[in-house]
Structure formats: structure tokens, C-alpha cells
Amino acid sequence: MHFQEEISAFYTYLQSQQTAQKYLLQCYKQLPDVEAEKKSYENCNVFMYCLHHGSEYYRAGEQLDTVLKPVMLFYGMAHLLKACLLTRRPEYPESTSVLAHGVSARKRKKKDYSFLEDEVKIQHKGLYPYFSEHLFGISKLPFEKITMRSLFQIIPELHPYFTYEKKSSLVKIGYLGDTTAVVPKALCDHYNMTENALLKRLGSYLPISEATSDVEHFTLRLKEPLSHWIDPFPVDMDHAIYIPTDRALLFPHSEVMVHYLLLYNLSMLSRYEAEWWGELLATKPDADYPFISSFLSITQKKIPLIIGKYLSKQMEGQVS
């Protein structure tokens, strides 16, 4: 079965009280100090509805005009994330503070506004820091604020747009399941590091057993295959794995975190900046448009797949 069909079938499988309860029971048995049977029955309905509502928001987002897509996709993503959290946090939401978005956007300047140069700021409480910690184990976020350009740079499917601008943002190092990674030595210049320092940095993320080199590349033999859960390396929908060419963007993250920040800001613009949003879609005045348009197409396909994969791994106990 094709990967996308497999994930779609898994979502469908979870759409009954019986199968949702059975799934949560398997998840909760892996958690300490949880009454697995009791909590799986208590949470199966809300879990099932979060998945259903999330899927419906995505379905609506695909059918609606671009003017409304960001809002539909953002809330669809939020519902799927809440379903994920219920697999790890049986008492979620523990307080109202975790229900806020967890991120804020600055008020845009009316003149010469650029989405690519806009920033979002991370809050100490709310859904973003909460799911980052409890789904992906990232309790200390590597930035307080970040630009939309930086976020776009670590989405593999947008890599060609930066290449067109002669600003390559990512380099392919292998594919999921590979036991070797091939890393260009040119990264030493990008990162302003010696070869030994770069290998040491990569060794903090990759299970390297042996490193060999030629004139242009390092070949890294790995103790275990490349996987989705290696933090700082983005993965595209063809399962190719990349490394950022900007040292500042090599930080622990999940692409889910990246998409959430972008969709949050775009949903705020589409709701509260009607003139700017309308002009962008109608006249396509600047470089923002191709990035935003492509991102919306990518995220509506990719995030349900990533989250579906996360849920299936969670059942198998493969997510740390």
C-alpha cells in the first residue's frame, strides 16, 4: 500500500469509539502511572472527534478559495495536534493556559510590509510550547522569535525557490532508511567550522560509527538507519533528508513546529489584514506570493501525513 493511502486508512480506522479506545489503550499502557483502561474509555470520544474535525478542516481548506485556506488549515492542524497530545497526555488539557496559541505576531507596518521578513514570537505558555515539549521532546526552544524566511528555508519542498535566488537553503544528505549520509564539505565554509568541528556537531544528532572523506564530501556510516525522528534534518514527501546550509537553522525541531508558526501568521493576516491579503492574492505584487501559495499547497498535504505517521509510530511505542 502506498504511504499516503496507508496513512489515510489509519485515520479511517480510528474513526470509531471501539478502535479509538483500543488505540489509546495501547498508547497509555506505555505511560507510567496511568490507569490505561479507564483513561482510554474517557478520552476515546474527544480523540476521535479531534481527528475527525481536523480532517474536515483540511478537506474544507482544499476546496475553498486561497483567501480562506490559512484559517482552515491552521485549525485543522490544531485539532490533529490535540489528538496527538491525548496519546501522550491523558489529562490534556490540564489548564486553560495550554489552550492559547502559544505564539504572537507583531502588528504589521502598513508601508513596505514583507511577509518573508515578518517575525513571530514564541510565548512561554500555550499550545506551541506545550506540543513542542510533549510531542517532540523540545522543552527549550532554540529561538524566541524567527522570520518567515527562515521558516520557509527549512521546508524541503520550497528549496527550489531559494535556489532560483542563488541562495541554496538545504542540501540533500540521504533518504529515510539509509545507513550512510553524504555531507558536502562546503558546509564547513557555510558554518564557519573546521572539518572536525562539523563532524562533532553532526555527531550530536546522527549515530555516526565511521566517517570517511574525499575532496568534496564526508561519507558517514551510521549505527542505525536515518529516520523521521532525527531532529534538525528536514524530510520531503519523497523521503529525502536534508541539512540546512545556514548554521543558525541547524537546531532541534519538527517540521510540524515550522508549519504551525507559518500557518498561525498567515491565518492572522487573512483574518485581520484583509487589504494586504486581498492585494497579495489578486495582484501578486512581490516575492511573498510564490512562497505563500506553494507553502499552502504543501502543508495541506504534508502535515496530515506527518501527524498520521506520528500517531502510527506512537501506537508502536517508537516515539520517544
Instruction: Please indicate, yes or no, if residue 230 is contained in any of the structural domains.
Output: yes
Q: 222 and 143, same structural domain?
A: no
Q: How confident is the model at residue 229 (pLDDT cuts 50, 70, 90)?
A: confident
Instruction: Find the mean pLDDT for residues 245-258.
Output: 92
Instruction: Find the mean pLDDT for residues 112-135.
Output: 93
Residue after which a domain boundary falls, among 226, 249, 272: 249
92 by DSSP, 3-state: which?
coil
Decide if pLDDT at 214 tops 80: yes
Is residue 299 within 8 A of residue 307, CB to CB? The reply is no
Better-predicted residue by pLDDT, 134 or 3: 134
pLDDT tens for 256-289 read: 999 999 999 999 999 998 888 998 889 888 889 9
Is residue 58 within 8 A of residue 76, CB to CB? The reply is yes
What does the mean pLDDT of the chain come to? 91
Residue after which a domain boundary falls, among 204, 233, 249: 249
Instruction: Please indicate, yes or no, if residue 237 is contained in any of the structural domains.
Output: yes
| Residue numbers of the domain that contains 36 | 3-154+253-315
Q: 258 and 124, same structural domain?
A: yes
163 by DSSP, 3-state: which?
helix
Residue after which a domain boundary falls, among 224, 249, 274: 249
Rounded Cα distance, 42 and 98, in Å: 20
Instruction: Please indicate, yes or no, if residue 320 is contained in any of the structural domains.
Output: no
Instruction: Please indicate, yes or no, if residue 222 is contained in any of the structural domains.
Output: yes
Q: 139 and 20, same structural domain?
A: yes
Q: 267 and 284, same structural domain?
A: yes
Q: Return the residue matching grid coordinates 485539532.
A: 79
Instruction: Please indicate, yes or no, if residue 176 is contained in any of the structural domains.
Output: yes
pLDDT tens for 46-68 read: 999 999 999 999 999 999 999 99
pLDDT of residue 283: 87
Instruction: Find the mean pLDDT for residues 280-300.
Output: 91
C-alpha dist (Å) from residue 4 to 237, 302, 305: 10, 10, 7
Q: 42 and 24, same structural domain?
A: yes
pLDDT of residue 1: 54
Report the relative pairing of strands 119-122 and 103-105 from DSSP bridges. Answer: antiparallel
pLDDT tens for 153-164 read: 999 999 988 888
pLDDT of residue 320: 44
pTM of this structure: 0.94
Instruction: Find the mean pLDDT for residues 236-246.
Output: 93
Instruction: Find the mean pLDDT for residues 245-262.
Output: 94
Instruction: Please indicate, yes or no, if residue 295 is contained in any of the structural domains.
Output: yes
pLDDT of residue 84: 97
pLDDT of residue 113: 85
pLDDT of residue 241: 95
Q: How confident is the model at residue 37 (pLDDT cuts 50, 70, 90)?
A: very high
DSSP 169-206: -EEEEEETT-SEEEEETHHHHHHT--HHHHHHHHHTTS
Q: 238 and 124, same structural domain?
A: no
Closest by CA position to 152, among listed 234, 30, 41: 234
- Calculated CA dihedral for residues 14, 18, 24, 25, nearest 10 degrees: -150
Which residue type does 89 have? Answer: R
Instruction: Please indicate, yes or no, if residue 17 is contained in any of the structural domains.
Output: yes
Instruction: Provide the number of structural domains found in the chain.
Output: 2
